[in-house]
Amino acid sequence: MLKRTQTIATATDETADACALSRRSLLRLGLTGGAMLMGMPAFAAGDGKDGAPVAGGTLTIGADADPIGLDPTVVTAFSSADFIALIYSGLLRWNAKMEIEPDLAVSYEMPDEKTYIFKLRQGVKFHNGQDFTAEDVKYTFDRILDPATASHLRAQYSTVTAVTVVDPYTVKFELESADAAFLNYLATADDGAIVPKGVENLMTDPVGTGPFIFGSYQPNQQFTLNANPDYYEEGLPLLSTVVFRFYKDQSTLSSALRSKAIDMTWLKDPKVAALMSRTSPQLVSAPGQTSRTFPIWMNLKAAPFDDVRVRRALSLATDREACVQTVLSGSGKVGAMLPESHVGGYDGTGEMPYYKHDPEAAKKLLAEAGYPDGIDLGEYIVVAANALDVACAQILQQQWQAAGITVKLMPMETAPLLNHWSSGTWPTLLSVALSWTPDADAIFQYLVSDSKFGKAVGVSDDKLDAMIAEARSEVDTEKRAARNMEIQKHIAENAYILQVYQYPLRWEIWWDSIKGYEPLAANVRSFVRTAWRDE
Amino acid sequence: MSDTVHNTAHNNDKEASRPEAVAPRRLPFTSGQVLLVLGLVMLALMAVVTIFAPLIAPYDPALTSASSLAAPSAEHLLGTDSIGRDVLSRLIVGGRTTLLITSVAVFLALAAGLVLGLLSGYVGGIVDDVIMRVLDVIFAFPVFLLAIAVVAGLGPSVPNLILTIAIVYTPAMARVVRGPVLSVKQWDHVEAARSIGMSELRIVLRHVLPMVVSPIVVATSLTLAQTIFTITALSFLGLGPPPPDPNWGGMLAEARQFMELAPLTVIAPAGAIVFATLTFIVLANGLREVLDVGSVR
Amino acid sequence: MRRMVIARLAWTVAILLGVSFVAFMLVRALPGDFVQTSAGAQNVASDVLEAARRELGLDRPLLEQYLIWLGNAVRGDFGYSFVTRQPVVGEILPRFVVTFQLTLIAGLIAMAMGVATGLASARLRGRADWIVRLYNGFILAVPNFVVATLIVLVVGLYFPQIAIFNYTPFFTDPLANIGGLLLPALSLALAVSVTISENTRAAVLEVSGQDFVMVARAKGLLPRTVLANYLMRNALTPIVTVTGLQVATLLGGSILVETIFAIPGMGQYLFDSITSRDYPVIQAIVLLASAVVVIVNMFVDIAYARIDARAQS
């Protein structure tokens, strides 16, 4: 048993603050000669009052989905990211405030807007004992960019033209054009994870440099990770074992937490999390930043939604605040295209065009559009398995009815719903929530004219396309934030999509015997690496 | 779900071909009569509540409010659910959807089962083999795979649910009909009718059908009971009738997340499901004894 | 008799073939596919999805896919799960064992309860008979998922010390394993016990009216001896048959209870694989579940034919 002393913990806190650099200051440091940045553990929660962190012990996490493969380059499944985040590490990573900090890279330089030179951390080993070098970085990205791999990440790194090894601990990325999204992708657990050169079968036998080593996996039962004794961060991870137990059913998950069969989980319904922590004060529920939005996708390719007045009328007929209050019990915010955790994300209070709830104005607009007696919009398709979506849809149905707009609810199984959505074959209205993506641009891509989803929705707006492209190539964070806000207003103005609310993907909740943990808006449990058990 | 469905199918099949011992009767009225009356009273109660549901329900069952998961009070006798709807109103109106699907689906299964069972039992031979084996295939199929297939393929609507459940119960009904038909057709008066040149259709209608009425009536009320299980189980899996119309299975499934915090939201729909099922079971048992189904041979 | 058995066997094989074909086509006819579903709401390029489909062989004609599957299945190769990329047999077997265990325990509980109440009802008659039948009628009216939900509720509210969501594999700790399955098995067993109880009652009443039992009684044998040697032995065949049938259908019917208690069994697995469109797994489970039902049915039919034959001779 290793007892960390108070002084070390406090010291690390200060270092953590120094390291929690915003992207801009990191950039500045990089430009001013590649100063060494020490990636020290960020004990954001442990400010000393909980006592000194204790090493050892097992953390049992209740998970709601099995991973579908563990090779970060190849998997497309969302559920795998959480596991990949603890097994692998990337050149950069997100801290709890959603700022980028160094991970396997210690610093980088930008000779120009299209070139990044990373200095790599030395002495890092993969779980199989292999040394981590620039060759692995090159291998990882060459593999992503090779069309034969069919990696979904190729689109993310589409601006990368070459990755070259300068020396064993220096690697150079050359980009086709300035790309503000590049570093964000590198910092994201599954998108930027570095895989070891020459190792096969990562899908089932993952090998990374992360804080935990893959132990065993019994599908539907449990997934076990063991501490990586050679992890580069001094003294981390503190836990010796992390066990994920799978509970597909939300009620079972919350009952399991209550009965302490698990120490920690995340829940889909904020009301459950709130009620649970109210009845058991030893449960900690920290929602974290919002990372997900609940939109209504309209089929713009045909009447009546090819008429902007009908879309605006629907937006005016929607009482977003009431949805936040009733469905989320207030623990969310009114949503726009970008959740608050993104550069230029909407905070839920600023003005957005056609956001004011006004059924009378909606009726007037409908009358102008040729529907003086109201309109029947037919089927509104929602994800049957998602209770929050179904609940919100029922409230929306009532709100719209007040403005003379009739819809018929159609909860659908997930598989056919995704099919309708991605191929643009839904009749009029469909809702599927948009989860956090590493970069704001990925969210805007859903509405770009010639993209897969742009075509599915039926958006055709050259001005919007240009605005989105310009924003991605704006590497100055503040300027980019302003551009992103403009794009969101433009989308709301034309009501290409109706965003209702934004919320964290999951409401994380854990027993207070687990310390040093923080939820991350990036939808992965990265801070299991700093968590410890206080018995 | 499927277990109970299939059980009785077998039981009826086997029981129909085995004489049941007669229960002791020492009371002035038979136990069957008591059960029958009790069942009818329960059924009438349910029918009244169902038919006049919108008048009885204190609130619009779909009306949401900000007071979610409220405890029972004078305003909301059974409290409110997770998005602030009145549980009592949903319970009353929810019976409509549940019972409508149940009764129509069982009627369809009965009609199909009657035709197939008569054909199979009366014609016999290769027709019997083919019908029974095709039904065996359906019978061997996991119920909810069938249900998901229909719901995913055609959408979750009340008619589609009715269709699904009717398909699921047709084999059981056909078996119930086939058993007695097999024995009835050997009887002397059927042979006699045939020998005087009565048409096959008339024989079936005049002589065979009346003989299988009793077991069918019993099987129907038992199947009604099981259908309530199935429909609520499907709703439980998210394959039930679409919102905003409430239904008991859906209410139960929705409320489970909050059950330790608001137990009544779970207990109320559970109680309704049990009451409705019990009604049909009591009816079935009463009918079985009054009609003396066991002695049909 | 032998011809009947052979014919029945042939039908069983034919039914399974039919089930496998119908299941295959039905599942593929479902809108949505594995690749799109696993990508979820992420914006994945169409060519990436296409490549993934090609890799899984989903781009071939349906009939060809079925024949390939059938050819392999006949040789005992059921392919790989799309989700876990492990052989399907290896994925299903442990879950089958779990469900089988659950079913077996439920069957034993049901048999104990059913035979006891059925015997009491048949032997004591009068008021006891009434009480048992009322109890049975009521229990039959409570669906297993309602029982399961209420058990979880009561345990959660009043007995938080009972761990109900800690499924333990048998080989890790056999006692904990069986202990953990008791409550789920109980919720499955209740309704089944009613059928067994009613059949036990009927069988005992039927047998007790027969000559050899009368003779035994007339000879002055103790009631207990009559019960053990004559009644039970002869009533046992229908009881065992009914139990067998019930247990067979339980295998496919435990999905809700498995979900509620988070038991990694077949029912839950089938539901998950349908949701994720893991075709090879769905196919194998449907085949296995139907095989159990069909084969048990076959044995029951043969057993009845033998009983009938004996009765006639």
pLDDT tens per residue, range C176-221: 788 888 889 998 888 888 888 888 887 777 777 777 777 777 777 7
The values of phi and psi at residue A216, to 5°, are -150, 165
> Is residue C2 a part of any domain in this protein?
no
Residue C270 resides in a domain: yes
E strands, A115-186, where?
A: 115-120, 160-167, 170-175
Instruction: For strands A160-167 and A170-175, give the pairing.
Output: antiparallel
Q: b or e along C239-251 (b: 16 or more beta carbons within 10 Å of the residue's beta carbon)?
A: bebbbbbbbbbbb
Q: Is the peptide bond before B242 cis (omega within 30 degrees of 0)?
A: no
Instruction: Give CA–CA dist A291/A352, Å, rounded.
Output: 19
Token output for A331: 């623990």
What does the mean pLDDT of chain C come to? 80
Q: Please state the φ and ψ torsions of residue C279, each to the nearest 5 degrees.
A: -50, -50
Helix residue ranges per DSSP H, chain C:
2-29, 34-39, 46-55, 62-74, 88-124, 126-140, 144-158, 174-208, 211-218, 223-225, 233-253, 255-261, 266-276, 279-312
pLDDT for the residue numbered C246 = 66
H-state helical runs in C219-254: 223-225, 233-253
Instruction: Report residue B253's pLDDT band, with 50, 70 and 90 as the boundaries.
Output: confident
Amino acid at C201: R
Closest CA to C272 of A14, A219, A455: A219
C-beta atoms of A218 and C269 within 8 A: no
What pLDDT is attached to residue A33?
Answer: 31
CA distance A376 to chain B (A): 17
Q: Domains of chain B by range and CATH?
A: 45-55+77-295 (1.10.3720.10)
Q: What is the pLDDT of residues B5-22, one digit of tens each?
A: 333 333 433 333 333 344
**Cβ-contact C140, B281 below 8 angstroms:** yes
Exposed, middle or buried, B127 (CB in 10 Å: 0-12/13-18/19+)?
Answer: middle
Residues of C in contact with B7 (CB under 8 A): 191-192, 195, 245-246, 249
Contact C250 B273 (CB under 8 A): no
Q: Search chain B and give the residue with CA nearest A249.
A: B257
Show residues of chain A in contact with C150, CB under 8 Å: none
**pLDDT over 50 at C63, yes or no:** yes
Domain assignment of residue C58, yes or no: no
Distance from first CA to last CA of chain B, Å, rounded? 31
Q: Taking CB atoms and an 8 Å limit, are B274 and C142 in contact across chains?
A: yes
Three-state secondary structure call for residue A375: strand
Report whether pLDDT(B222) > 60.
yes
SS (H, E, C) A288-338: CCCCEEEEEEECCCCCCCCCHHHHHHHHHHCCHHHHHHHHHCCCCEECCCC
Residue C58 has pLDDT above 90, yes or no: no
B–C CB contacts, 8 A cutoff, strictly below? 171
Chain C residues in contact with A262 (beta carbon < 8 A): 165
Chain C contact present for A442, CB below 8 A: yes
**What is the per-residue pLDDT for A28?**
36
A425 inside 8 A of chain C by CB? no
> Taking a C-beta distance cutoff of 8 angstroms, is the pair B113, B174 a contact?
yes
Q: What pLDDT does residue A334 have?
A: 93
> How confident is the model at residue C245, as a pLDDT?
66
Chain B: residue whose CA lies nearest to C239 = B11
**C267: in domain:** yes
Q: What is the pLDDT of residue A371?
A: 94
| Interface with chain A: mutation pick from B59, B60, B64, B237, highest number of A CBs within 10 Å | B64
Residues 6+ apart with CB under 8 A from A155: C44, C45, C48
Percent of chain C with pLDDT over 90: 2
Inter-chain residue contact C36 with A415, CB threshold 8 Å: yes
Provide the 8-state DSSP code for A3.
B
The answer to whether B141 touches C290, Cβ cutoff 8 Å, is yes
DSSP letters along C28-90, please?
A: HHSSS-HHHHHHTTS---HHHHHHHHHHTTTTS-HHHHHHHHHHHHHTT---B-TTT-SBHHH
Task: Supply the pLDDT for residue A36.
Answer: 34
Query: What are the tokens at C31?
Result: 């809108």
Query: Does B26 sit within 8 Å of C126, measured CB to CB?
Result: yes
The pLDDT of residue A39 is 38
Low-confidence ranges of chain A (pLDDT < 70): 1-51, 287
Between residues A222 and B65, the one the model is more confident about: A222
C44 phi and psi angles, rounded to 5 deg: -105, 135
User: Taking residues B175-196, what's their average pLDDT?
Assistant: 77
A299–B contact, CB cutoff 8 A: no
Q: Read off the pLDDT band of B25 (50, 70, 90).
A: very low
SS3 B113: helix
What is the predicted pLDDT for the residue at B297?
28
Which range scores top for mean pLDDT: A175-179, B135-139, B262-266? A175-179
**Residue A3 phi/psi, 5° resolution?**
-100, 120
Residue C81 lies in a domain: no
Predicted confidence at residue B236, as pLDDT, reads 76
CATH number at residue C269: 1.10.3720.10
* Sequence-ordered alpha helix ranges (H) in A378-476: 387-402, 414-423, 440-444, 452-457, 462-472
In a domain? residue C286: yes
CB contact under 8 A, B238 and A411: yes
Q: Residue B244: its chain A contacts at CB < 8 A?
A: 394, 397, 409
pLDDT at residue C30, as a whole number:
80
b/e code B142-174 from CB counts within 10 Å (16+ = b): bbbbbbbbbbbeebbebebbbbbbbbbbbbbbb
Specify the length of chain A in residues. 535
DSSP conformational letter for A149 = G
Look at residue B242 in the predicted model and tell me its pLDDT: 82
Supply the range of the domain harboring residue C285.
Answer: 88-312
Which residue matches tokens 């990325």? Answer: A173
Tell me if chain B has a CB within 8 Å of the CB of A416.
yes
In B236-287, which ranges are E strands? Answer: none
Is A326 close to B152, i.e. CB distance below 8 A?
no
B263 — pLDDT class (breaks 50, 70, 90): confident
> Which tops the pLDDT comparison, B288 or A369?
A369
Collect contacts of B70-78 with beta carbons under 8 A, ≥24 apart: B71/B262, B72/B264, B78/B264, B78/B265, B78/B268
pLDDT at site B44: 92
Going by their DSSP bridges, the two strands A241-246 and A429-430 should be labelled as unpaired
Decide if C152 and B259 are in contact by the 8 Å CB cutoff: yes
Give the domains, in start order, of chain A with CATH numbers: 88-187 (3.90.76.10), 292-503 (3.10.105.10)
Interface touch C36/A151, C-beta < 8 Å = no
Q: Which of B260, B264, B269 is nearest to B98 (CA)?
A: B269
Question: Cβ of B62 and A413 within 8 Å?
Answer: no
Written as one string, the DSSP assignment of B143-209 is HHHHHHHHHHHH-S-HHHHHHHHHHHHHHHHHHHHHHHHHHHTTSHHHHHHHHTT--HHHHIIIIIH
Tell me, what's the pLDDT at C293?
A: 75
- Residues 33-92 in C contacting A (C-alpha not used; CB under 8 Å): 33, 35-48, 51-52, 55, 81, 83-86, 91
Q: In the structure encoding, which two tokens stand for residue B240, read together?
A: 């039930």
The mean per-residue pLDDT over the stretch C2-16 comes to: 82
Q: What is the mean pLDDT of residues B152-168?
A: 82
A461 CB-contact burial (10 Å; exposed 0-12 / middle 13-18 / buried 19+):
middle
| Cβ–Cβ contact C197 with B under 8 A | no
- Check the CA dihedral A129-A133-A136-A139 and report its sign: negative
Which residues from chain A sit within 8 angstroms of residue B156, using beta carbons?
A: 384, 410-412
Name which of B62, B242, B256 is nearest A410 (Cβ-Cβ). Answer: B242
Please check whether residue C240 lies inside any domain of the structure: yes
CB B169 within 8 A of CB B105: yes
Tokens of A129: 């004992």
Partner-chain contact A415 C31, CB within 8 Å? yes
Is C19's CB within 8 Å of B140's CB?
Answer: yes
Task: Please choose, from the candidates A292, A366, A356, the residue with its C-alpha nearest in 3D space to the C-alpha of residue A322.
Answer: A356
**How are the residues of chain B apportioned to helix, strand and coil, as percentages rounded to the nearest 5?**
75, 0, 25
Q: Do B83 and A326 touch (CB under 8 A)?
A: yes
Q: Taking CB atoms and an 8 Å cutoff, what residues of chain A touch B151?
A: 413
Asked if B80 contacts B67 with a C-beta cutoff of 8 angstroms, the reply is yes
Tell me the chain B residues in contact with residue C290 when contact means C-beta distances shorter than 8 Å.
Answer: 137, 140-142
Average of pLDDT values for B141-167?
Answer: 77
Contact C223, C141 (CB under 8 A): no
Please give the residue of chain C at the shortest CA–CA distance from B236. C256
* CB-based contact B257:A273 (threshold 8 Å): no
CB within 8 Å: B10 and C245: yes
Q: Mean pLDDT across chain A, nearest whole number?
A: 84
Residue C297 lies in a domain: yes
Per the structure, the count of domains in chain C is 1
**Category of C293 on φ-ψ map: left (φ > 0), alpha (ψ -120 to 50) or beta:** alpha
Contact A413 B244 (CB under 8 A): no
SS3 B297: coil
- According to DSSP, the β-strands at A264-267 and A105-112 are unpaired
The pLDDT assigned to C310 comes to 62
- Cβ pair B204, B118 in contact under 8 A: yes
- The pLDDT score that the predictor gives to residue A295 is 94
Higher-scoring residue by pLDDT: C153, B142: C153
Strands A115-120 and A170-175: antiparallel
